[in-house]
Structure 1
Amino acid sequence: MDSKRLLPMIGHVRGKRSAVTCQLKCDNQCLGEVCNTTSNDYFRDIASAAVSRRAVLGGTAGAVALFGASQFDAAAAPLGENALAARRGGGKAPKRTPLTFDAISPVDFKVDEFNVPEGYTWKPIIRWGDPLFADSPAFDPKKQTAKAARKQFGYNNDYTEIIEIPGSEGRRAVMFVNHEYTNENIMFPPSMSIEQQREVGMINHGLTVVELERKNSNSPYKYVQGGKLNRRIVIDTPYRVTGPAAGSDLLKTKADPSGTKVLGTLGNCSGGLTPWGTLLSGEENYHSYFVGTGETPTDKRYGITNKETVRGWEHSDPRFDTRNEGFENESNRFGWIVEVDPFDPKAAPRKHTSMGRFKHEGANVIIGEDGHVVAYSGDDEKFDYLYKFVSKRKYRKNDRRHNMTLLEEGDLYVAKFTGNSPVEEIDGKATPLSDGEFDGTGRWLPLVENGRSMVEGMSVEEVLVFTRIAADKLGATKMDRCEDVEPSLKTGRVYVACTNNSDRGKEGKEGANEANPRTQNRDGHVIEIDELGSQSSTRFAWSLLLVCGDPATDENTYFAGYPREHVSPISCPDNLAFDSVGNLWISTDGAPDGIGYNDGLFKVTLSGNDRGRVQQFLSVPRDAETCGPIIRDQDRSVFVSVQHPGEDGTWEKPNSYFPDYNNTLPRPAVVQVYKKPRRGRGRR
């Protein structure tokens, strides 16, 4: 891959964000035309007079009832059942988290270190290229092959989940990992041909399932080479298509005239864990792997151009050029939520059309008090939307076979927000409002309901395959890049990480509003949603929990009313997680024109006098992104996936030596941070 082709973003990014990352991860979306060019009337007081959020929060007073025995009763369940409880180690949660720490200081973006608080240490569990199977070859960075890569841990680990195996007394677990994209410039020696790079790069995408083991809950995990559940899911792995669009003419190709079997998954970013022990993976920036006409409404709306892709897969496989006869629909077969059963290595992964097609950051599931499963998902692009899926059938405790069908059929909604402050108070700087907070109400607009399309002029299949266009027609709210969307299992409230939107307020683009209060929003914000009535309700209340940035330089940052001078600076919230007592944890991803620190993981208190307090727990190395946080505070452990360390380097001149720091090339890795058995320095 010619590094000169990766230069368009140079001069357009500042802080720690890499121009190379922009090219390889999302095909320079920030430089291209915004995909959403509709002129939706949004975030206005267009409904009946907006109801104050404070007047309607009583609707969630019984939220604890949502999370009863069905999700936290760990008694005699089949393998993988009650996985949300197992993730937290099972048992009764403490009143206060034992994961105590003093916040670390932010780390300059040029520093190549992994930093943790005093009293903690860290260790990589698994790295790119580590052998997975008994017959896997050892990783040889100078002699990589596609055959070897099929049996090794993939590149750029993102969403990560660890599920304890029932009956193992906390000593065994299974880990699931997404591999979002590759950076051939630092992966391969210059002597490797472009054709070889493509072959190996393709296999380094996809998903991994791998077994873990440890001595006890106070010791770190190790991965098990040759574990019975170990699996690599790669670009030619067959996926089964489910839901109303399965078999649709919109999904049929020359290679798959049935429209029900897709090879591979692409751009897998975040994901989610289901109560029945399966994993969900979001296909996000798949558009950058395809060449199309670039002129059709669907190509334009989904960001597919007629230019050669940066990796050139279209030269190796005709399906990645949708101008080829018989492959016109190939790109329609990506952009879905994928479900994988980590406990059955032979089970085909599934792509669920009922949940809509867009650039899914991920999907996160909760069981409503009415028994229906609700999944939230954000479309990670500037000015795109927030979605909710409600299953047709209800969850059945300990009926895993039934529960594994719940995401195949149901209702799909898109969010429309309404602010409750005068429009003239929204100045684009997030200046505090006269009523004290940015808040309001909203509606979930039906796209598909009771098996029928609710969008005029579009069939159910068209709504699900071209969900963005359907949402445009309903006038959904344009957001500042909704990334992870996580419901709290403690309160039922839903948290939405809006990473940033540098185009808001620019000429010809939508301006600021109460839920996106900053123009050229570089640092992002976090929205808190309260469903009104039940989790499957079509009405909600909302407020901004955080308006991110560095309070030392930006007086209009906001931390739920907590004193700004006592928080850690935070920019570009991305992935979200919760600890056992309900604190929110946020990992960050880049800060274009932002605060200039390495990305990290941050704890946010959600209740009591400390509500809104942000404390930085760790920072990742130079050029890296913090992904897939898992908070196992009862074990005094935190897990993160460190993605694209040393992204701006080359094979000859690495920009990072993470995780081994032995003067070799950087390797993305999953890391465990845990309490030291004895006192010592908090840095490896």
Structure 2
Amino acid sequence: MTIESRRRFLPMLDHVKGKRSAVTCALKCDNACAKDVCNTSNNSYMRDIISAEYSRRSMLGVGAVGALTLLLGGNAVAQAPSAQGLSPAAKAGGRLQFSPIAPVESTVDAFTVPKTYSWEPVIRWGDPLFNDTPDFDINNQTPEAQAGQFGYNNDYLDILPLDKKNTRAVLVANHEYTNEGIMFPPTMDPATVRAISKNAHGMGVVELERKAEGFPWKYVRGAKLNRRITMSTPFTLTGPAAGTDLVKTVADSEGRTVLGTLNNCAGGTTPWGTILSGEENFNGYFKVGTPTAEQRRYGLTSTDPGRGWHLDEERFDATAEGYENEPNRFGWIVELDPMDPNSTPVKHTALGRFKHEGANVRVNADGHVVAYMGDDERFDYLYKFVSRDKYIEGNREHNKTLLANGDLFVARFQGDSEGEIDGSGAVPSDGSFDGSGEWIPLTRDGRSAVPGMTIEQVLVYTRLAADRVGPTKLDRPEDVEPNPVTGKVYVACTNNSNRGKGSNAKADETNPRNENRDGHIIEITETNNDATASTFNWNLLMLCGDPAQGDVTYFSGFPVDQVSPISCPDNLAFDSAGNLWISTDGASSGIGYSDGLFKVSLEGADRGKVEQFLAVPGDAETCGPVIHDKEGMVFVAVQHPGEDGTWGAHTSLFPYDGTPAPRPSVVQVFRGKNGKGLRK
């Protein structure tokens, strides 16, 4: 690749401060930050929506006590956010004890864990899932082999138990995108490269086994639940937009069956044991002509997509007659049943179409299911969905229909100290960034709540519908997770270096830094701890960065000189005590350290304390954290290791198994050698 062509392919080459590598920008999100901001609506920003009738006191009242709710299958939520309402384990800080590691320079090609812990892969890109699938050979790859092998760039991850002894489990992972430049030799036939890469997208399901609880897992080749979801897997559309003209194509005249899922980022596990997966940067896969206003709002451009799938399948060319709506069939929340390898996965239109990071479900005290979702784009929005029907304990088939119908809302925030926000990140005089908010309806009772738009228009063009009702523009809201102990909701805002630049929105109390390089975390408390409530209050848990480098940071009052430096929060998880765990994406360009996994205390004197648990190799991102603290184990998906390398000149050889190229992998971290640190 010449210097000129490299700059065309990598327009972020000189503009990645506070973000990720230029290669990742090109492959993962189609150089979104190098392009114009998608949200050019006149929708009011935070500072413009302050009004006398919209005050914290009038909206929320005083002294509300939360109702008990169900979360992730029946865990009772504490009635109050104070430490007194937590379990003894929460007060003690959880069961996964460790000494924080020092930050690791971003040039280090190593997977780093605390002393007394070990790590090893559970499964790697190319590992065969089926008995008739060949072993991985990086020099002899084929589309057929990849269709039966673990896919590339694992992101969302969960491990679900299959027996009471906890010696059998099923692992589910997303495969977000591919990096052809380090996967294949440059001499490989381009059509073959495209076919293999297509089969490396999607999702993977694989059974695991081990000797006993606390021991490392091994994946089981040929197990009955093993499955690959690829671009040829049929999906059923559900909800009000299914079957409408906006999702019909010449190949699907009924508008109800879609082939494949792509750019699957984060996700969630439902209380009934299915997996939710977010289709994120789908725009980079489709060719369009002169984009319509609707297409521009989703980042589709007239530039030919770099992966070139439209050269092999006409449906990826939206200029082809009959395929104009194919892009509308992506950008949804996917639901997959990992316990039934013959089931047809679904795409839920009732949850809206945008660049979904993922979705996480809470079951309210009244039985309604609530899903929280972030739209991962600069200046886009936070959403929630409330189901029409109610959760029935033990009725799995019924519960699998709950996301097909319900009401969709978008969030508007107001700060208590907006007049003091100057874009520097300085804490207001009341000592915190906080305020109140409301959930604005986009759909109600199966009808549009947005004047001038039909229900199918609201759901297919959700971003444009939201623009009309005045929600708050956030700094890339990614993972959104309800806490299983307190019921509070946490929003990871990864970064937004464009805030305050030119005509873009300036800082407000919910996004208090201009040129927000390092991101922040929002903490939301629904009114009366009712997940279906129309109002909430909020505060910022932290403004990320490295105080030692002079960054303006905030950690809920915890001393900034006693925290691990952290930048670009992405995925969130909780341990059994309700402590927050944050994985990061982009820290290397912000604070100069490798991405990692961090534990954050949420209660008492240690609220805001950040402790780094692990660091991933250079160029890599930490994804899909799973915290099994009761058995002393942590799992992460290591995505795009060695991203900035080229074939034959790799910058990482993770996971160091002898393969002459990096292999994205699911990694397990456990106490002692071979997990024996747990054994008495």
Decide which of 97, 102, 107 is 1:105's aligned counterpart.
102
Decide which of 63, 66, 87 is 1:62's aligned counterpart.
66
Q: Which amino acid aligns with 1:111?
A: V
2:468 is paired with a residue of what secondary structure?
A: helix
Is residue 297 from structure 1 mapped to residue 293 from structure 2 by the alignment? yes
- Per-residue CA deviation, residues 282-309 of structure 1 (Å, 9 max, x unaligned), is 0000000011124311111000011111
CA distance in 1, matches of 2:572, 2:186: 38
Match in the other structure for 1:81: none
1:615 is paired with a residue of what secondary structure?
A: strand
Measured after TM superposition, the shift of residue 432 of structure 1 is: 1.3
CA distance in 2, matches of 1:265, 1:653: 31
Q: Which amino acid aligns with 1:531?
A: E
2:414 is paired with a residue of what secondary structure?
A: strand
Measured after TM superposition, the shift of residue 406 of structure 1 is: 0.3
1:383 is paired with a residue of what secondary structure?
A: strand
- Per-residue CA deviation, residues 449-494 of structure 1 (Å, 9 max, x unaligned), is 1112110000001100000000000011101000000001111100
**Maintained 8 Å contact 1:432/1:556:** no
Q: Return closer, same or farther for 1:307/1:272 CA change in 2, 3 Å cut-off.
A: same
Q: Which amino acid aligns with 1:279?
A: I
587-596 or 400-409, which deviates more:
587-596
What's the % identity of the aligned pairs? Answer: 58
1:374 is paired with a residue of what secondary structure?
A: strand
**Maintained 8 Å contact 2:71/2:484:** no
TM-score, structure 2 length as denominator? 0.94
Q: Which amino acid aligns with 2:436?
A: T
CA distance in 2, matches of 1:575, 1:57: 32
Give the superposed CA RMSD: 2.1
Match in the other structure for 1:437: 432
CA distance in 1, matches of 2:339, 2:269: 13
**Maintained 8 Å contact 2:274/2:337:** yes
Measured after TM superposition, the shift of residue 72 of structure 1 is: 4.3
1:22 is paired with a residue of what secondary structure?
A: helix
Measured after TM superposition, the shift of residue 553 of structure 1 is: 2.2
Measured after TM superposition, the shift of residue 117 of structure 1 is: 0.5
Measured after TM superposition, the shift of residue 43 of structure 1 is: 1.8
Decide which of 483, 502, 506 is 2:497's aligned counterpart.
502
Q: Return closer, same or farther for 1:95/1:457 CA change in 2, 3 Å cut-off.
A: same
Q: Return closer, same or farther for 1:477/1:132 CA change in 2, 3 Å cut-off.
A: same
**Maintained 8 Å contact 2:572/2:583:** yes
1:28-43 mapped onto 2 (5 Å cutoff): 28-43=31-46
Match in the other structure for 1:181: 177
Q: Which amino acid aligns with 2:609?
A: R
Q: Return closer, same or farther for 1:92/1:149 CA change in 2, 3 Å cut-off.
A: farther
Q: Which amino acid aligns with 1:493?
A: K
Measured after TM superposition, the shift of residue 556 of structure 1 is: 2.4
Match in the other structure for 1:152: 149
Is residue 453 from structure 1 mapped to residue 441 from structure 2 by the alignment? no
Is residue 277 from structure 1 mapped to residue 273 from structure 2 by the alignment? yes
1:475 is paired with a residue of what secondary structure?
A: coil
Q: Return closer, same or farther for 1:672/1:679 CA change in 2, 3 Å cut-off.
A: closer
Q: Which amino acid aligns with 1:430?
A: G
Q: Return closer, same or farther for 1:337/1:632 CA change in 2, 3 Å cut-off.
A: same
Decide which of 656, 661, 669 is 1:660's aligned counterpart.
656
Q: Return closer, same or farther for 1:470/1:40 CA change in 2, 3 Å cut-off.
A: same
1:586-597 mapped onto 2 (5 Å cutoff): 586-591=582-587, 593-597=589-593
**Maintained 8 Å contact 1:53/1:441:** no
2:157 is paired with a residue of what secondary structure?
A: strand
1:164-563 mapped onto 2 (5 Å cutoff): 164-165=161-162, 167-423=163-419, 425-533=420-528, 534-554=530-550, 556-563=552-559
Decide which of 600, 616, 627 is 1:631's aligned counterpart.
627
CA distance in 1, matches of 2:71, 2:14: 52
Q: Which runs of 5+ in 2 are unaligned?
A: 77-86
1:6-25 mapped onto 2 (5 Å cutoff): 6-14=9-17, 17-25=20-28
Measured after TM superposition, the shift of residue 606 of structure 1 is: 0.5
CA distance in 1, matches of 2:12, 2:437: 36
CA distance in 1, matches of 2:346, 2:229: 12
Q: Return closer, same or farther for 1:665/1:182 CA change in 2, 3 Å cut-off.
A: same
107-116 or 6-15, which deviates more:
6-15
CA distance in 1, matches of 2:403, 2:63: 30
TM-score, structure 1 length as denominator? 0.94
- Per-residue CA deviation, residues 504-551 of structure 1 (Å, 9 max, x unaligned), is 000011100000000010000000000003110010000000100001
**Maintained 8 Å contact 1:67/1:490:** no
Q: Which amino acid aligns with 2:253?
A: P
**Maintained 8 Å contact 2:214/2:676:** no
Match in the other structure for 2:56: 51
Measured after TM superposition, the shift of residue 143 of structure 1 is: 1.1
Measured after TM superposition, the shift of residue 571 of structure 1 is: 0.3
Measured after TM superposition, the shift of residue 663 of structure 1 is: 6.2
Match in the other structure for 2:80: none
Q: Which amino acid aligns with 1:503?
A: N
**Maintained 8 Å contact 1:583/1:605:** yes
Match in the other structure for 2:83: none
Match in the other structure for 1:116: 113
Match in the other structure for 1:84: none
